[in-house]
Amino acid sequence: MNQSSKLRTWIEIVSAAGVMLGLGLVAWELLQNTDQAVLNTRAVEVAAYQHGDMAYYKFEQGVLDLERLESLMSPLRDRLTLPGMHEEWAARRPSFAPGSQVYIDGLFDSIGG
């Protein structure tokens, strides 16, 4: 095996290692992005519940009428149809005011959840 052939072999080995390292980094980045997407989704769900709780409080205080409350609750109502949301609500329900609990329970009932 001559010098040129040995050099070419080492270049191929280093290139293959570089490709493997690059693929590993891409896989790691995809995993990070997936984890971030899960966290973002969870944050949106929490914000939707908090938004709903605040909207209901304003309704109870007479700041919002029923029509405006229903309009504000529309995004939350849509999210309640997603898989796992009934379990999510069951876990979060105790931290909400009683009136909000009853109202969101009613939303679940209205969508068949």
Residue 52, pLDDT score: 78
The Cα–Cα gap between 18 and 15 comes to 5
The Cα–Cα gap between 44 and 39 comes to 9
Residue 102, pLDDT score: 92
Residue 6, pLDDT score: 87
The Cα–Cα gap between 78 and 74 comes to 6
Residue 80 CB neighbours (<10 A) = 22
The radius of gyration of the chain from alpha carbons, rounded to an integer in Å, stands at: 26
Taking only the tens of pLDDT, the chain with its 113 residues reads 688 888 889 999 989 998 999 998 988 998 888 888 877 777 776 666 678 788 888 899 999 999 999 988 888 888 888 888 888 889 989 988 898 899 999 989 988 75
Residue 56, pLDDT score: 87
pTM of the model: 0.55
Is the Cβ–Cβ distance between 69 and 61 less than 8 Å? no
Residue 67, pLDDT score: 93
